Amino acid sequence: MKQHFIRVITVLAVAACTTGAKAQEKDLLDLVDDGKTPNTIVTNAFKSIRIINGHSMEFLAPGTMDFRILHRFGQMNQGTKNLFGLDQASMRLGLDFGITRKLQLGVGRSTFKKELDGYIKYAPIRQSTGDHAFPMTIALVGGATINTLPFADPTRTNYFSSRVAYYVQTIIGRKFSDRISLQLTPTMVHQNLVPLASQPNDVFAVGFGGRIKASQRIAFTWDYFYNINGLEKGVTYNPLSVGVDIETGGHVFQLHFSNAAGMNERAFITETTNTWEKVDLRFGFNLSRIFQLKKAKSS
């Protein structure tokens, strides 16, 4: 009995030194093994930090960088005169960085409107398993784009702020099983300057995305954004993309079809001018390569 008492006192003393003020908030029973399962973050809901166009609920591991090439050819319904779109192309180059398990940021450059873009993504809650599990991931994304094309009318007074647009979104996603993941993405895009007075500066949209795993290395993916208030009838359309993810070691290679030319949130939500109804589509591919910049901490 005396040995047991000494052992308990020793445990309490060590805990007080290592946890400081937090030790006062802990139940003393937590300092001994009570058989509870520790929480584990659910990963691989998607094989990439983007589904196709939009952000996914997935995060990069801390200390890693994702070098990403998004490549989309021209309109397929133009026939042989542009080789079904293969004679034309637009692309985006991106660098994304994993800061912590819940924090990520990235920058990119698109040929569409020569735009620069950047974003930060943070998940206050991530889907987890264990005794205090949470059934879904909730992530917040904030980003901005800068149009670097020359102003259409250089003779008038032009402002740098006219080049800038912003977006904010919430990602609500869940990995239901090893095969199926789904997410919902309410989004708001604000453009400081719009081409026409009839167009809103603030555009609201809701994104839907998912993944169905077909095998260990192949999955089918899609994302769709329903534009609530920003469509011009017969001019702009809701962006829909469908694709196939192929994992090859350190690469994730994706083949897809989309009616969107732009590859950042401002572009594909507010300026998609092609439609699936007329098979006005573009074939493309996304290539992702992960680099370890900082040595992972050993557990």
Domain ranges of the chain: 1-35, 38-292
> What pLDDT, on a 0 to 100 scale, did the predictor assign at position 161?
92
Total Cβ atoms within 10 A of residue 150: 9
Residue 79 zone, left/alpha/beta (φ > 0; ψ -120 to 50; rest): left
Tokens standing for 28? 């003393």
Query: Which amino acid is residue 94, in one-letter code?
Result: G
Is residue 254 within 8 A of residue 285, CB to CB? The reply is yes
Where helices occur in the chain by DSSP H, the ranges are 2-19, 265-270
This prediction's pTM: 0.82
Across 113-136, average pLDDT: 93
Per-residue pLDDT, averaged over 149-158, amounts to: 86
pLDDT-based confidence at residue 80 (cuts at 50, 70, 90): confident
Task: Find, among 198, 182, 199, the residue nearest to 190 by Cα.
Answer: 199
Checking if the pLDDT of 164 tops 80, the result is: yes
User: What pLDDT, on a 0 to 100 scale, did the predictor assign at position 86?
Assistant: 84
Query: Can you tell me whether residue 236 is helix, strand or coil?
Result: coil
Assess whether pLDDT exceeds 60 at residue 185: yes
What does the pLDDT read at residue 239?
A: 96
Checking if the pLDDT of 152 tops 90, the result is: no
Asked if pLDDT for residue 10 goes beyond 70, the answer is no
CB 173 within 8 A of CB 151: no
CA neighbor of 270 nearest in space, from 191, 183, 161 = 191
pLDDT the model gives residue 37: 66
Q: What pLDDT sits at residue 106?
A: 97
The rounded percent of the chain whose pLDDT value lies above 70 is: 86
- Cβ atoms of 227 and 207 within 8 Å: the answer is no
Residue % of the chain over a pLDDT of 90: 63
Other beta carbons within 10 Å of 40: 11
pLDDT, mean of residues 246-275: 90
* pLDDT greater at residue 141 or residue 249: 141
User: Which pLDDT belongs to residue 153?
Assistant: 82
CATH 3.40.50.720 fits 38-292, yes or no: no
Q: Which tokens is 157 given?
A: 């007074």
- Please tell me the predicted confidence (pLDDT) of residue 128: 93
If residue 73 lies in a helix (H) or strand (E), which one and from where to where?
Answer: strand 64-75
Q: What is the DSSP string of 86-155?
A: TT-EEEEEEEEEEEETTEEEEEEEESGGGEEEEEEEEEEE--EESTT--SSEEEEEEEEEEE-SPPS-TT
pLDDT in the model for residue 61: 93
More confident residue, 157 or 22: 157
The answer to whether residue 268 scores a pLDDT higher than 90 is: yes
- pLDDT-based confidence at 267, cuts 50/70/90? very high
